């Protein structure tokens, strides 16, 4: 080993350790040997080419990771992918270890502070001469179409000479002088042609920018292919079946007089009629077996809902179903369709209540709160009905059917435990309507004036809007 003067001590130690590892593995079949024989075997192992130390010089060009670069010396360094999403690296918390323990122990990527400190140390430890070249670059766009930005850590470092390149000529581009898009205010003609019904406001309350994409630019995603019946078609059938049922029954008194056989017959006839009223393309698209299964499912669903209706405390009469109304929402004309209007015969006076059917699997019953309005249908309908004493979300779901009600006299149609903050008095009801009215006033003003700024306090990643994400440059 002394005949290798050009080898570093570390490489000699590595070679010696490898040799001793092979030598120790020979104990099992060598048995007891004197030191002279072991020395001969050690020299034999050392002289084989397997354990000769590699040449001291490295490759002229190396592709290595960020961590491998620390402490090394290069004439030229090109750091690729140095975007704001990659550097500092994103937080990756271990879900099986308490977060506080991870931060205290300095586990990599456990908190934003730890990631920032590691990135700063790495940036400060790059060893390169002042007259050499150090380049940081990022791709122009991500895979999903969003614009990449150079990490702010690098843009503020004094060692950077060229920050961003996007073409072979290495032209420097300053991405930090960004100009916001300005949306012009809407003309009267454009306001009158908006259309969209309630979706205009439901999209705005979900995220204002999506209203601009869908209703101002008229951008529509490609239709999604569904295996079997789509959720939309199933919801239409349920709405039509309930409409057929209540146009025949009308009142709760008549409902309770029906026998089980008569009730079942009425429900089946309502569902069959709803299926027949579907467009011809719907019936041709699905086989008889699929339609028969859907008929059975709809019958079970409507039966479950009617059982809930029979348990209502106060008698009622259905005075309108699928009623179309024209609204002027603070300067924006809309056409809306109200699922159902009930007249409730309370102990004192008659009450008018608007119901809106929801057939989805999950319905957020807090979606009518004025500060987080994601279910604007019923609040919007109250603007069209002067004598409205309450509204109710009617969640029609098998074995999970329920009401969520807000009114000026009662917190629910059926006997349930009252929530902590229910709207069940005239004072609370008037306050609720004023809060809704103010929300629609602000939304209408923003839509008409072209204020579609992104609300970062709300999620941008709802499933039904995912096709619009590539249009958002700020993500």
Compute the average pLDDT of residues 267-295.
Answer: 90
- More confident site: 262 or 455: 262
> Do 40 and 74 belong together in one domain?
no
> Structurally, how many domains does the chain consist of?
3
Residue 224: both structure tokens together: 């999604």
Q: What is the pLDDT of residue 370?
A: 84
| 188 falls within a domain | no
Q: What is the pLDDT of residue 82?
A: 79
> Do 261 and 296 belong together in one domain?
yes
> Do 405 and 281 belong together in one domain?
yes
Q: Are 317 and 252 in contact (CB under 8 A)?
A: yes
Q: What is the pLDDT of residue 155?
A: 59
Sorted by sequence, the CB contacts under 8 Å of residue 4 that are 6+ apart come out as 12, 53
Secondary structure class of 365 (helix, strand, coil): coil
Query: Domain span at residue 400?
Result: 231-449
Sorted by sequence, the CB contacts under 8 Å of residue 9 that are 6+ apart come out as none
> Do 274 and 394 belong together in one domain?
yes
Give percent of the chain above pLDDT 70.
84
CA distance 448 to 328: 13
> Do 31 and 90 belong together in one domain?
no
Q: What is the bridge-based pairing of β-strands 350-358 and 390-395? A: parallel
| 461 falls within a domain | no
Residue finishing a domain among 100, 120, 155: 155
> Do 143 and 76 belong together in one domain?
yes
Please provide the DSSP assignment of 291-337 as one string: HHHHHHHHHHHHHHHHHHHHT-SS-EEEEEEEEEEEEEETTEEEEEE
> Do 307 and 432 belong together in one domain?
yes
Compute the average pLDDT of residues 281-299.
Answer: 89
> Do 26 and 114 belong together in one domain?
no
Q: Are 290 and 275 in contact (CB under 8 A)?
A: no
Sorted by sequence, the CB contacts under 8 Å of residue 151 that are 6+ apart come out as 82, 83, 84, 86, 87, 88, 119, 136
Q: Which residue has the tokens 């467009």?
A: 279
| 2 falls within a domain | no
339 has a pLDDT exceeding 80: yes
CA distance 448 to 437: 16
> Do 328 and 423 belong together in one domain?
yes
Long-range contacts formed by 327-331: CB under 8 A, 24+ apart: 327/380, 327/383, 327/384, 329/201, 329/380, 329/383, 329/440, 329/444, 330/440, 330/441, 330/444, 330/445, 331/191, 331/444, 331/448
Q: What is the bridge-based pairing of β-strands 332-345 and 316-329? A: antiparallel
Q: How confident is the model at residue 347 (pLDDT cuts 50, 70, 90)?
A: low
Distance between the two ends of the chain, CA-based, in angstroms?
A: 59
Residue 295: both structure tokens together: 């008929």
> Do 330 and 409 belong together in one domain?
yes
Q: For the full predicted model, state whether its pTM sits above 0.75.
A: no
In tens, the pLDDT along 348-406 reads: 789 999 999 999 877 877 888 888 888 888 999 888 777 889 999 999 998 889 999 99
> Do 275 and 341 belong together in one domain?
yes
Q: Are 141 and 147 in contact (CB under 8 A)?
A: yes
| 15 falls within a domain | yes
| 141 falls within a domain | yes
């Amino acid at each position: 080993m002394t005949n290798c003067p050009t080898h570093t001590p570390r490489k000699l130690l590595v070679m010696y350790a490898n040799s001793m590892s092979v030598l120790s593995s020979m104990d099992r079949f060598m048995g007891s040997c004197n030191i002279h024989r072991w020395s001969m075997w050690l020299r034999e192992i050392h002289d084989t080419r397997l354990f000769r130390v590699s040449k001291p010089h490295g490759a002229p060009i190396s592709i290595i990771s960020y961590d491998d670069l620390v402490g090394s010396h290069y004439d030229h360094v090109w750091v690729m992918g140095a975007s704001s999403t990659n550097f500092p690296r994103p937080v990756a918390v271990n879900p099986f270890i308490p977060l506080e323990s991870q931060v205290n122990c300095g586990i990599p990527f456990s908190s934003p502070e730890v990631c920032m400190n590691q990135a700063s140390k790495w940036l400060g430890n790059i060893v390169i001469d002042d007259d050499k070249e150090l380049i940081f670059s990022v791709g122009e766009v991500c895979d999903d179409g969003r614009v990449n930005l150079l990490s702010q850590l690098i843009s503020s470092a004094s060692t950077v000479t060229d920050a961003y390149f996007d073409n072979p000529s290495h032209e420097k581009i300053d991405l930090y002088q960004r100009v916001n898009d300005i949306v012009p205010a809407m003309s009267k003609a454009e306001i009158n042609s908006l259309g969209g019904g309630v979706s205009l406001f439901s999209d705005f309350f979900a995220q204002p920018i999506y209203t601009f994409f869908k209703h101002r630019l008229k951008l529509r995603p490609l239709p999604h292919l569904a295996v079997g019946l789509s959720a939309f078609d199933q919801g239409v059938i349920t709405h039509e079946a309930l409409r057929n049922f209540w146009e025949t029954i009308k009142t709760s008194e008549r409902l309770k007089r029906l026998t089980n056989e008569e009730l079942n017959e009425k429900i089946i006839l309502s569902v069959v009629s709803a299926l027949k009223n579907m467009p011809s393309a719907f019936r041709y698209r699905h086989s008889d077996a699929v339609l028969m299964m859907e008929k059975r499912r709809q019958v079970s669903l409507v039966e479950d809902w009617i059982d809930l209706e029979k348990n209502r405390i106060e008698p009622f009469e259905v005075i309108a179903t699928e009623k179309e109304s024209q609204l002027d929402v603070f300067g924006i004309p809309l056409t809306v369709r109200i699922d159902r209007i009930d007249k409730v015969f309370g102990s004192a006076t008659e009450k008018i209540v608007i119901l809106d059917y929801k057939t989805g699997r999950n319905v957020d019953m807090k979606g009518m709160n004025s500060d987080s309005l994601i279910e604007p249908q019923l609040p919007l309908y109250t603007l069209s009905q002067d004598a409205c004493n309450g509204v109710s979300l009617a969640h029609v779901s098998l074995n999970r059917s329920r009401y969520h009600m807000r009114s000026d006299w009662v917190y629910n149609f059926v006997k349930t435990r009252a929530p902590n903050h229910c709207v069940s008095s005239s004072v609370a009801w008037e306050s609720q309507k004023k809060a809704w009215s103010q929300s629609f006033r602000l939304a209408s003003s923003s839509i008409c004036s072209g204020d579609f700024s992104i609300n970062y306090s709300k999620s941008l990643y709802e499933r039904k809007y995912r096709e619009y994400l590539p249009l958002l440059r700020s993500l």
